[in-house]
């Protein structure tokens, strides 16, 4: 470590492996799994994180589960949360019981009770209430239903044709 840089008690650097603690900070580190009350990842990553509060800055997580999940300038493959916030980030799938907020971000699928999306791109968005400004959505609810019905009809027809 450089002069003046000290590792705090619950701060990990390098390969942290599996971590279980009250509060964990991964700084330029990686972990297989993290189970904690609060998790902070700075320029690092984890395969699986379960915590009440998850904050990621310039890092990534494969599976994030928590009450509040916030990702800034990073990425997450799947996020399951009560409240989700993406800022200048990307996600494959976001599932939020409450509100999902995206600002200058991209997501494949967003499913939430309420979605607040600003200056972002979303593949499919499923929400009771959507507040959107300058958003590009590939599939809304109507488009997704129409696509599913068309795909189902085509697959049914091909299945009947193959059966003969």
What is the per-residue pLDDT across 49-87, written as a single tens digit (0 to 9) for each? 999 999 999 999 999 999 999 999 999 999 999 999 999
Q: How far is CA 8 from the centre of its chain?
A: 27
Whether residue 65 is contained in a domain is answered as yes
Provide the pLDDT confidence category of residue 138 given band limits of 50, 70 and 90: confident
Query: What pTM value is reported for the model?
Result: 0.75
Whether residue 60 is contained in a domain is answered as yes
By CB atoms closer than 10 A (0-12, 13-18, 19+), residue 92 is middle
Closest-CA residue to 113 (of 103, 128, 94, 91) = 128
Q: 82-132, pLDDT tens digit by residue?
A: 999 999 999 999 999 999 999 999 999 999 999 999 999 998 888 999 998
Q: Which domain holds residue 17?
A: 11-162
> How close are the terminal C-alpha atoms of the chain, in Å?
71
**pLDDT over 70 (residue 34):** yes
Whether residue 5 is contained in a domain is answered as no
DSSP 3-state assignment of 140? coil
Whether residue 81 is contained in a domain is answered as yes
Alpha carbons within 13 angstroms on the beta-carbon side of residue 94 total 37
pLDDT value at residue 7: 47
Closest-CA residue to 62 (of 74, 77, 81) = 77
Whether residue 141 is contained in a domain is answered as yes
Whether residue 71 is contained in a domain is answered as yes
Residue 156, H or E segment: helix 141-162
The better pLDDT of the pair 37, 160 is held by: 37
By CB atoms closer than 10 A (0-12, 13-18, 19+), residue 84 is buried
Whether residue 122 is contained in a domain is answered as yes
Whether residue 2 is contained in a domain is answered as no
Q: Count of domains in the chain?
A: 1
């Amino acid at each position: 470590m450089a002069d003046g840089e000290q590792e705090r008690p619950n701060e990990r650097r390098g390969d942290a492996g599996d971590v279980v603690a009250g509060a964990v900070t991964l700084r330029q580190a990686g972990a297989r799994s993290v189970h904690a009350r609060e998790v902070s990842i700075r320029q690092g990553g984890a395969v699986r994180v379960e915590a009440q509060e998850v904050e990621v800055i310039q890092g990534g997580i494969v599976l994030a589960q928590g009450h509040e999940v916030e990702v800034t300038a990073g990425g997450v493959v799947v996020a399951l949360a009560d409240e989700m916030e993406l800022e200048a980030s990307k996600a494959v799938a976001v599932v939020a019981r409450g509100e999902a907020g995206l600002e200058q971000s991209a997501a494949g699928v967003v499913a939430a009770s309420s979605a607040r999306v600003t200056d972002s791109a979303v593949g499919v968005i499923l929400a009771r209430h959507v507040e959107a400004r300058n958003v590009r959505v590939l599939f809304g609810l109507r488009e997704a239903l129409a696509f599913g019905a068309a795909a189902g009809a085509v697959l049914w027809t091909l299945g009947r044709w193959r059966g003969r």
